Structure 1
């Protein structure tokens, strides 16, 4: 009995929150965990970066970030493949990140959310936080949503995290077909 790998059913659902640094992804994720039915996990890429120990030479920083992101993608895919529902907090600021996730996540069970915020507000939030590289949001601003369609867009300058989460929950229950991931997989792969 204890030697059998448990059957966990089909894959879980993935809500992928795509936005720049300081756009409000983590705040929305916290609200989603509060209002979604069933069990959900919040998987923020920042948590994976926070697990890293040791010093990184400046010349090695981008390669380290890329390896961490690739590992993070596989951890997310593994959680979903095992039947877990996950809210993912990750900026698709580099095209390869989206392409990698298109190969890993179940496209029919992935809701891609554009978390938007005007650049002046992002700059204000970065300065107020003090725990982020100033200017990171500006560096990501033009690329994070450049890949194409999302299933839903939310604007954190116009709506609270709770309001954004409620909009996302409604979109999840509306089950758009084809999903943005299905469309992107067909057009980009």
Structure 2
């Protein structure tokens, strides 16, 4: 489908409501991208899949040292959060594919996504299975999942959790869709309280 040039904004464009976020959190190789693809294929409406890996992949290649790379890496993550929030603020529904392996990442999401409906999803998978996937896929850094494994779920609070080792991406997506249709998500609000964030009126 092509869109002719010189269109004015339609009344349907400005919905007056923020888009919904489905935030998938899990290690590398846990199956988040496959679940996101299933969600986009089966959810109603024009959902988007935004993944932190894609943001890192479009950064210029340089011979970084750890000292020079760390602030660039962290700014990439902070920018990713704000890009997601910007899409949602414009009324777009977004499936977010992320690795919350450090406290500051979660805390920045709690701040930047304030006022947005966030369904927080934990994508679980055993370490032996993650390591097997790393070896078989051939395009992953061996050992990355092992480093992330004890960190990504430390906060301990989700709206729904899925087991990507014993369930297919389609089955995981179905569980997430079911939860999306139930009571409003609460995990992010509870985490804000636990982390000492003040509610914004």
Of 10, 15, 34, the match for 2:17: 10
Query: Following the alignment from structure 1 to structure 2, what is the Cα–Cα distance between the partners of residues 3 and 174?
Result: 33
The Cα of 1:176 is off from its aligned counterpart by 4.3
Q: Kindly indicate which of the two structures has a greater share of residues assigned to helix.
A: 1
Q: Which structure would you say has the larger Rg?
A: 2
Pairing 1:81–2:76 present: no
Provide the residue aligned with 1:31 in structure 2. 38
Aligned length: 188
Query: Following the alignment from structure 2 to structure 1, what is the Cα–Cα distance between the partners of residues 153 and 183?
Result: 21
In structure 2, runs of 5+ residues without a counterpart are 1-6
Residues 58-77 of structure 1 deviation map (CA, whole Å, 9 limit, x = unaligned): 32233222111000000001
Query: Following the alignment from structure 1 to structure 2, what is the Cα–Cα distance between the partners of residues 129 and 63?
Result: 29
Provide the residue aligned with 1:116 in structure 2. 124
| Structure 1 residues 87-166: aligned runs within 5 Å | 87-106=95-114, 109-166=117-174
In structure 1, runs of 5+ residues without a counterpart are none
Moved more, 58-67 or 18-27: 58-67
Distance change (3 Å), C-alpha of 1:128 and 1:3? closer
The Cα of 1:124 is off from its aligned counterpart by 0.4
RMSD between aligned alpha carbons? 1.9
Q: Is the 8 A contact 1:107 1:181 kept in 2?
A: no
Query: Following the alignment from structure 1 to structure 2, what is the Cα–Cα distance between the partners of residues 175 and 29?
Result: 21
